[in-house]
Structure 1
Amino acid sequence: MELSNVFWNASFDELKKGYIQDFDSFTCLLCGEKIEKGIVYPFENKFYEAERFMRVHIECAHVSIFDYLLGMDKKLTGLTEHQKNLLSLFYQGKNDKEIQKELGIGSVSTIRHHRFALKEKERQAKTFLAMMELLKEKDEYAPAFVPVHKTATMIDERYNITQDEQEQLVNKYFSNGVLTKFPQKEKQRLIVLREISNHLKMDYNYDEQELNQILKGFYEDYVLIRRYLVEYGFLDRKSDGSSYWLKK
């Protein structure tokens, strides 16, 4: 299962922890790192059992779950940059006076008002979440949508894709694993690029020549595919183009 699927299917408590537990391992929801159970892991002259080591991994690789979630696209969090800045300062334990001074806005009562507005947003989110959970029990005609990849650079109607639609379009545009035509429509491009990205390795740095060789196996205009993989947030790269990797 794709990491985005695992992430969006995780429970609220699992999202807060940042990992899920399977029969024999713990999996990081943020990058897919797996920690096997029953093994003692050394780190900085200390030893950790598997679940504790997963928390060490999250701290070292992602700073915190809070920071990771806060850094996600606005369309996924519903937060403005101003709200993100406030939440970050609240999370650091700063009081209203310190925050007002640091941001240089309004007065202490202005910060207090922002706190109230965020609590209101929390109440709305809880109510909406409860309604959606209840809706799942009744809406037998709801299609299964493909989860948005967490590193998407722009989230809009292009991501309105059902599982059936993706399967049909993959069959339409690929023949024996080779892309027969690069589609013009944004939504179809997204499906094609996601399918190609699924064949790249996570936690691996490709040099440009190696990546080109792999992409050439999918489509003759590999430069076009490489550019769009970066543009749509599937790949990241060094500024000089010497190294490429799947974004987590």
Structure 2
Amino acid sequence: MEIADIFWDASLDELKRGYVQEKEAFICLLCGERVEKGIIYPYENRFYEAERFMRIHIESAHRSVFDYLIGMDKKLTGLTDHQKSLLRLFYQGKNDSDIQQELGIGSASTIRHHRFALKEKERQAKTFLAMMELLKEKDEYAPAFLPVHKTARMVDDRYNITKEEQEKIIQKYFPEGTNHSLVKFPPREKQRLVVLREIVKRLEVECIYTEKELNEILKSAYDDYVLIRRNLIEYGFLDRKPDGSQYWLKK
């Protein structure tokens, strides 16, 4: 199962702690890091059991689950930039007067109003989540949609695609299998998304690639590797240094 599937299938408690527990390992929901059970892991001259080490990984690699979640695209969080700024300051434990001075808006009572509005948003979210959970028990015709990758830059109708449609696209553009070359680059956004999701599986999460190394990997998927590289960046799969000297998978 892909990390995007695991992330969106996680319970609220699992999302809050940032990892899920499987039979033999703990998996970070934020980057897919896997920590095997039964192994003692070293960190800064000390040793930790697997679950504690997973919490250390989240702190060292992502600062906190809160920081990671609030950094996600606004289409995934439903928050405006202003609301994100407020939540970051609330999370830092600052009082209303300090926040008002730092943001330079209204008065302390204005900040209290924002707190109330966010609390109302929380109540609405709980109600909606409960309804959707109940709906799952009744809606036998609900299709399985393509999950949104967490680093997506444009979350829109292109994700309105079912797993069945995904398989058809893969068979059309990778007739010999996804480990072989792409027959052509799709003309439609939805098809491109599916194809790019398969190509990006050829890259390793923790690896930093030079442009030459990346090109060699992408060339095995399609002759026009520059086109693939550009689209992987545009769709939020890849990040790079401004001078193009290094590339890596976004987490």
- For residues 154-208 of structure 1, what are the alpha-carbon distances to aligned partners after superposition, in whole Å with 9 as ceiling and x for unaligned? 1110111110011001111123222111112111111111111122222111211
Query: Equivalent residue for 1:181?
Result: 184
Paired residues, number: 248
Structure 1 letter corresponding to 2:60: C
Whether 2:205 is the aligned partner of 1:202: answer yes
5 Å matches for 1:154-165?
Answer: 154-165=154-165
**CA separation in 2, counterparts of 1:49 and 1:225?**
41
Correspondence 1:245 to 2:248: yes
SS at match of 2:35: strand
Cα distance in 2 for partners of 1:178, 1:46 equals 46
- Match of 1:175, SS state, is coil
Work out whether residues 40 and 49 of structure 2, in 8 Å CA contact, stay in contact via their aligned partners in 1: yes
1:190 to 183, 189, 193: 193
Tell me the amino acid that sits aligned with residue 226 of structure 2.
V
Structure 2 residue 60 is matched with structure 1 residue 57: no
- For the residues of structure 1 that align with 2:141 and 2:84, how far apart are their CA atoms? 36
Unaligned 5+ residue runs, structure 1?
none
Structure-2 separation of matches of 1:106 and 1:24: 52
Q: Which amino acid aligns with 1:178?
A: S
Q: Aligned-pair distance for 1:42?
A: 2.3
Alpha-carbon deviation of 1:46? 2.5
Query: In 2, distance between residues paired with 1:66 and 1:158?
Result: 28
C-alpha separation between the residues in 2 aligned to 1:46 and 1:170?
46
- Offset of residue 39 of structure 1: 2.2
Q: Deviation at 1:240? A: 1.5
Structure 1 CA distance for aligned equivalents of residues 214 and 47 of structure 2: 38
Q: Structure 2: any 5+ residue segments left out of the alignment?
A: none
Partner of residue 141, structure 1 = 141
* 95-104 or 30-39, which deviates more: 30-39
Q: Matches of 2:121 and 2:22 in 1, distance apart?
A: 33
2:211/2:244 contact within 8 Å kept: yes
Show the counterpart of 1:223.
226
What's 2:113 paired with? 113
Tell me the CA shift for residue 40 of structure 1: 2.3
| Native 8 Å contact 2:202 2:217 kept in 1 | no
Counterpart of 1:196, as a letter, is I
Greater shift, 167-176 or 89-98, is seen at 167-176
Task: State yes or no: 1:29 paired with 2:29.
Answer: yes
Shift of 1:41: 2.1
Aligned position for 2:172: 172
**One-letter amino acid of the counterpart of residue 114, structure 1:** H
Determine the C-alpha separation between the residues in 1 that align with 2:208 and 2:74: 28
Could you tell me how far apart the structure 1 residues matched to 2:34 and 2:181 are?
A: 31
CA distance in 1 between counterparts of 2:80 and 2:244 reads 31
Query: Residue 66 of structure 1 aligns with which residue?
Result: 66
In structure 1, give the amino acid aligned to 2:12.
F
Counterpart-to-counterpart distance in 2, 1:215 and 1:79: 35
What percent of counterpart residues are identical?
73
1:57 and 1:12 map into 2 onto residues whose CA distance is 20
The whole-number CA distance in structure 1 between the counterparts of 2:75 and 2:152 is 10
In 2: Cα distance, 1:212 partner to 1:42 partner: 35
SS of corresponding position for 1:179 = coil
Report the Cα distance in structure 1 between the residues aligned to 2:43 and 2:181, rounded to whole angstroms.
44
Q: Provide the aligned C-alpha RMSD in A.
A: 1.0
CA distance in 1, matches of 2:183, 2:45: 54
Scaled by the length of structure 1, what TM-score is found? 0.97
In the superposition, the TM-score normalised over structure 2's length comes to 0.96
- Indicate the SS of the match to 2:197: helix
